[in-house]
Amino acid sequence: MTESIILTIITAATPLLLAAIGELVAERSGVLNLGVEGMMVTGAVAAFAVSYSTGSPYLGLLAAAATGIAMAGIFAGLTIGFATNQVATGLALTIFGLGVAGMVGEAFVGRPGVGMEPIAIPVLSELPVVGRVLFAQDLLFYLSVVLTVAVALFLFRSRAGLRLRSVGDRPEAAHALGLHVGRIRTLAVLFGGLCAGIAGAQLTLVYTPQWIENITAGRGWIALALVVFASWRPLRLAVGAYLFGAVTIAQFHAQALGVSVPSQLLAALPYLATILVLVLISRNRRFTMINTPAALGQPFVPDR
């Protein structure tokens, strides 16, 4: 029983962690992309459509990654190339993504998907308790762990990570030192789109191998909140993702145990938890200001 609960928590948390780790990198560069939900949902429909057509979930995963990058490229072109308002552009990207996904996915509603099979690591997967939980998972779980560790090392243990953080804090000073602010921010946003597309693929290839309209169900917004919850720290982000994953699946286990709580309230738990966390964080303004990238959401144009 405990093992099955942990497995469902991991499955629910993985798309949140993948989407949030990409957004964390983008925000560390000073770019606020509110289009995570739109990139996730287009990645989800691309993964399902290609895997259904080809029979290969891995081709579906590649399609989702490419779609996420393409959506992020649109956002980067507008906000970095033309210095449009990042908040308005991100919201427009989400609305656009939901519309495109609904249109493309209409032909796939009710059709069986192609699930991604678990990959058991020899020897380690045979360990008691933790073996099946940690070492007999799907590719995207392993990828989420690797990306979290890699991003933590990149941001705080590499010269390139220092450059990215300097662009997010003081773009004018970084530009004066010869750094190409626009290029660094664009690469960070594209990485965020890649991660969001892969997060969407997890929903249609692992979480529920089928296409349902609005399958992301607000997970992109939760991923945005997780970045703030983690104070822009990758390892804290992982902890937050699994906490939110536990809250997400709590509704199903509560219903199975016969808890007499309205199903609508249980379904709202992840979003209520998101609001509560943001309220609690906002009370400590000093903590928030210390960790927030100083130039977050501010466009940078060198000749101004």
CATH class of 2-110+138-291: mainly alpha
How far apart, in whole angstroms, are the C-alpha atoms of residue 255 and residue 273?
A: 18
Closest CA to 19 of 161, 194, 215: 194
For every residue of the chain, DSSP letters joined together read -HHHHHHHHHHHHHHHHHHHHHHHHHHHTT---TTHHHHHHHHHHHHHHHHHHHS-HHHHHHHHHHHHHHHHHHHHIIIIIS---HHHHHHHHHHHHHHHHHHHHGGGTT----PPPPEEPTTGGGSTTHHHHHHEE-HHHHHHHHHHHHHHHHHHHSHHHHHHHHHHH-HHHHHHTT--HHHHHHHHHHHHHHHHHHHHHHIIIIISSS--TTTTTTHHHHHHHHHHHTTT-HHHHHHHHHHHHHHHHHHHHHHHTT--S-HHHHHTHHHHHHHHHHHHHHH-HHHHHHHS-TTTT----TT-
Pairing mode, if any, of strands 119-120 and 136-137?
Answer: antiparallel
Confidence (pLDDT) at 242 = 93
| Confidence at residue 233, expressed as pLDDT on a 0 to 100 scale | 93
Q: What's the pLDDT at 64?
A: 98
The two tokens of residue 290 are 């210390």
Position 275 scores a pLDDT of 80
Give residue 255's pLDDT: 61
- The per-residue pLDDT for 83 is 94
Cα(243)–Cα(249) distance, integer angstroms: 10
Residue carrying the six token digits 């030192």: 177
Which residues fall within 8 angstroms of residue 302, CB to CB, at 6 or more apart? 175, 181, 182
Task: Tell me how far apart the alpha carbons of residues 174 and 286 are, in angstroms, rounded to a whole number.
Answer: 25
The pLDDT assigned to 167 comes to 97
- The pLDDT value recorded for residue 263 is 64
pLDDT at 139: 96
Would you state the pLDDT for residue 257? 63
- Give the Cα separation of 65 and 76 in Å (integer): 16
Q: What is the pLDDT of residue 297?
A: 94
Measured CA to CA, the distance from residue 81 to residue 51 in angstroms comes to 34
pLDDT in tens, the chain (304 residues): 678 888 899 999 999 999 999 999 999 999 999 999 999 999 999 999 999 999 999 999 999 999 999 999 999 999 999 999 999 999 999 999 999 999 999 999 989 999 999 999 999 888 887 888 899 999 999 999 999 999 999 999 999 999 999 999 999 999 999 999 999 999 999 999 999 999 999 999 999 999 998 999 999 999 999 999 898 999 999 999 998 888 888 766 666 666 666 766 767 777 787 788 777 777 776 666 677 899 999 999 886 5
pLDDT at 193: 98
**Start-to-end Cα distance in the chain:** 61
Res 278: pLDDT: 74
Per-residue confidence (pLDDT) for residue 253, from 0 to 100 = 67
Q: Which two tokens stand for residue 28?
A: 């560390």
